[in-house]
Structure formats: C-alpha cells, structure tokens
Structure 1
Amino acid sequence: MFKRKASAIWVCLSLMPGWAFAQSVTPQALPANGKPTLEVVQTSEGRMLDSVEVVAGNQPGPRMWKIKKGGHVLHVLATVSPLPSGMSWDSAQVEGTIARSQEYISPPSLGITANVGWFSGMRLLPAYLRAKKNPGGVTLQQVLSPELYSRWSAAKARYLPKDKGIEKQRPMVAAEALYGAALKRTGLGGKPIVMPVIDAAVKRHQLKIVTTGIKVKIDDPKQALKDLQAGGFDDAKCLSETLDNIDQKLPDVARQANAWATGDVAALRRRPAQKGPSCFDAVMQSDFAKKRGIRDVPERMRSNWVKAAEDALSRNASTFAVLPLEYVAGQNNYLDTMRAKGYEVIAP
C-alpha cells in the first residue's frame, strides 16, 4: 500500500529486480542436519547441477579491504547477495571498525521518488497493479516464444507449482518470483543479514553518513506508471536469462554465498563472473528512463563513490564503507580506480 508522503514511484523499482532478486525471499526450513544442500537436478536444458552444501550457523564473513593515504584508512566491506538463509553473522570485527570511524560511506544506489499524498497514492495503486501485468491482459503464453514458454513452464512446475496468477504477470515480474523461489529451494536468501547490523551500528556510534547514490524525483508519477505498463523494453530477455541463471549458475551463487559467510576471501576474489539478468538494464534503456534523465547510472555512481572516498581519506583517520563485491574485486572495480589515482589498496 502507498503510505502518506511515501514514495509512490517505488513501484518502478519493484519492476526492476535484476540487482536485488534475493531480498524478498522467505527463509527456508533447514534439513535435519541443519545444512541446506543444492540438489543435483536435471535442468530444463538437460544439464545436471552440481551438489553444493550451503553453510549454516554463526559465520565470520570476510575481512575488509583497506584504502590508505598516509595515516588515514578507508575500510571497505564487500557484500554479496544472496547469503545462506540458515547463517548468522559474527559482526564483531566490523562493528569495532565502525566504532573507531568518523564517517560511513553508504553503498551506491539508484533511488526513484515522488512525493504524493495518501489519496493520490491510493489513486495510483490500480495503475501500479496494472503495470505488473502484461499490457492488454495477455498471458505469458501469449507474449513468450513457444520455446521460452516451454522452459518457463518446466521451471514454474518445479519452483512455483501453486502460483496460477503469475501467468498474467509480465515476464520480468515472473522472473523475479521464479528466481526467489529457486534461491529458497537452494537455502539462500531470506531476511537481510548484513545491512541491518551495519545501519544499527552506524546509528549507535553516530557516524556521519555520506551517500553516493543517484536520486531521481519523478514529477509525473501517473504518466511514469503508464510508461512502465506500456513497456518498450525486452523483459522476455530478462526471463530467458533468469532461466539460464537457474539452470547453470546456482551452484556458483551458492559457492559465492558460502565463501562470503566463511570469510574465504581468496575464493571471493577468484569467483566466476556472475552476470545478472538483464531486467534492470532493460528498464534503464527504455523510454521511461530516458524521458526522466535516468542514464549513465553505473558511471555516475562510480564517480560519486570515488569522490566521497577521496574526500573521506583527506579528513578522517578512519572511514567505513560498504560495496557490492563486484565493485571491489570485479573487473574495472572501484578499488582499481583508487589504486590508479595513487592510493594504497590492501586486500585482506
């Protein structure tokens, strides 16, 4: 429901699941031994997934990267998503670093807002519900190719057998639900583990928060929802790539989650590249985004973060930051940018 003075256009982000599929997954009940296992199953393309035991219990997480300038240090915690649903995080090291720091640089993000009153929000609700469905009320079978619909049907029968209404949802909404259900079966996802702890520690120690994200205010929320409903982006490709990820990459996702939980930094640094579904990219390339100046998002976020890091290193003895793993150890990552600028970067 829309809340008074809340962001009505949050619905736009709910239609762009490519970067955060696992955030709404319900924790899975653990097997008798307390350790969920990724099953060995035949996929829709006939391949067999590897068996990966997902860790559980209290886990340390990885040590932090450090960026140094003289006696000033920026501590960077790399995060991954999803994480094992049966784990708890021993956050003492990170909380100690936060307690000794003067500022916190929050992760880069894209925020889309539109301030509307409660009654205006209620009037937008029907448009939001329509935006989640295929234009014209058609079904997935009508909008997908026969081959893709066959793959979808096989995966739905396995992961979402009781969800009949999803056949009327647009492909990217169906992709999000399917991926979340697949993660749940794997023992991944569940309630957020890391950020609630960090947010509470930052508030407790009264650190100054430096934001590096991009904020876009929508002045025409009703038209924005209509544009989203109209589509103009290839979310069938998003569903196809989601099926590919489920068929081929869940073992790698599970291994990455295990590596983060157990603090295996070497494994995190050599992890296979995890190319996410193209849902986010599809929306970012649509007329909806172009009309509202939502462009060059990765480049702008990098620029914002690097500037915040340099400013923090010039004035603070200790600064704490959180970055997704791909911005820390992936190709052309933020830390490489800092290294190229002459800062000392120390891997854990």
Structure 2
Amino acid sequence: MAFQGDSIYWVEVEKVVPNPFQPRREFDQTKLQELADSIRMYGVLQPLTVTRKEIQREDGTFYSEYELIAGERRLRASKLAQIAQVPVIIREGEQSEQEKLELAIIENLQREDLNAVDRAIAFKQLADQFGLSHAQVAKKVGRSREYVSNSIRLLGLPEHMLQSLKVGDMMEGHARTLLMLTDRPEEQEVVYKEILLKKLSVREVERIVRKIATDKVRKKNLGEFDANLIEFEKKFTETLGTRVQIQKTDFGGKLTIDYFSEDDLENILLRIKEEAAEQAPTQHEMVERLAAHTPLSVVAAAAPASEFAPEPLVVQPQTPPEPEILAAAATQPPQEPIPEPEPEIA
C-alpha cells in the first residue's frame, strides 16, 4: 500500500539485510524481547528505511534485496516475533556509503538509541572515513561542534572504562571528568574504581579531580618534587584503595587520605591493620635480627626461655639428723670464749 510522500511497502523479513554502517553496537536483549512482544500483538508501527538493490542470479534472472538504513532494532525484534513481513520506506536512487552512515546516525540520535561510546565511534567514523571536520559532522547530524568534539574525545579513555560507560556503570559526565586525568593514569584508575565502588556522583568526581589538578600545579611550582615521595604516594594509593597525598613541610610533612563515608574510613583502617600484620616480624625473626647485631649475653636476655635459658638447677632435699644426735648436742656445755692475748711490754 502507498501513502502520499514516501511510499510504504511490505517486504519479507528475510529479504532485509542489516546496514553495514550501523553505528549502534549494543542492543539490550530484555528491551528487544519486550519490543518483539509488542510487535507480535500490534505489528511494526514505524516503517523501516531501506534501499533496494537488484541482484542477478546465476540463471540470469534478478531478485530484489533491501539494505537497511535505519530501524535495525525493529528488524531484530520482528525476527524474534517471527512475523513474515515488515513495512518499509524505500529510498530511491543509489545511496552512498556516507549517506547510509549519516542516515543511520541521525535516526539513532533522534530516537536516543545510541549510547555515548557508539555515538562517539559513529562521529569519528564519519569524520575519518569521509574526511569531514568536526564542524561538518555536527552540521550533518544536527548537533553543535562542541558536542561532536566532546563525544569523540571520550574514545581517549582506556577500553575497560569505555565498557563501563557502555553498560551504564558510570555516566557520560563521569567519563568526561576522567579525561582530565589522561596524563596521570594511576590516579585516573583510582578515581574510576572509586566511581564504581562508592557510586560517586559526577559532582563528587569533579571535586576530586580538581583537587588532583591543583596539587599537580602546586608540585610543579615547587620545582623538582622528591621522586621518593611520589613513589610513596603511589604505594599508599594502591594499598589503601583511595587517593593519598604527601606534602612536604619545613618540619617534616603531612599525609592526606581521602575518604567519603565512615564505612570508607573503617575500610582504610582495616587495610592499614592488615598491611601492618603482614609486614610485622615474628618473634623468631626478631631474635634472629637481634642475634646478628647484639652481644650474645644481651640476646640471651631478650630471647625466649626455650632457646637460651640454662638448664634448671635441681636442689636435692637434705635428710634431717637422728633424734639421739640432736639430744647429745643439746647436753654439751657451751664453750668458753678464748681471750685475746695481751700485748707484751718491752
């Protein structure tokens, strides 16, 4: 059947092939099944957009094939619903690869079906493959140049962070803020993990990143920063799972540990205790260390009794004298004291 303007036709589902320039790569299977159930009950309410290609068979005859420009989600759901035909609008004339990609991007943008990563990939493909500037891409898709440029910049994040953005574990605002730490990958990774574990808001992440940027400027202004302190900061950060800063002062220094709740504080304290327990020497190790640097007498005094104490002195009990001997000794008269000799007179 046909309408005024673009004509709508019903074609067999198996004759519609996907758009090779489809920018959308992620399809939520649950939502796809929900759409399939709706199509099974009410049909496809919005036609797919296709181009028609005449393909010659080996026997010389021709058949029509329809290449999808927009509507892949509806096509997939229609196949799940096992319906025989779908409504399509056929774009007349040969469509260039650029036009197919442009139409697919625009259709997905209008329906807000693209996630931030797929959108960025599509914009970059349009710019790189067809030699377009960001301003030209923006004009074709109906967005601002800043919107296109900021989207493409997201692709500068590590792959695992892009995957988190794809599946919705973090928001686009989180990702944009993480880009500010591209030149500090260790701290970027720490902040990324805090986003996932602590469910930080975009505003909280912006505050953390601004503080990191301020510290970077401060250290640059101080000139050559102690490499040992930088290494200590990295080790503290890895051990405690949160950002740690060390600041030198005239009389020592200051250690700053970031936390966001009482639970965070308890976890940090627990990690410190666990680390201390792992690093603490055993009693035997302490004795060995003392023995290597201390005189033996001191080591013996500090060592456990089982290793250095002498054998215990066993005292045998004496047999008491017989009663007759005691009686005889009692009857003897006391002896007179022997007088001292008087000095002789010359």
Higher relative contact order (CA 8 A, sep 6+): 1
TM over 0.5: no
Q: TM-score, normalising length from structure 1?
A: 0.19
Q: TM-score, normalising length from structure 2?
A: 0.19
Select the structure of larger CA radius of gyration: 2
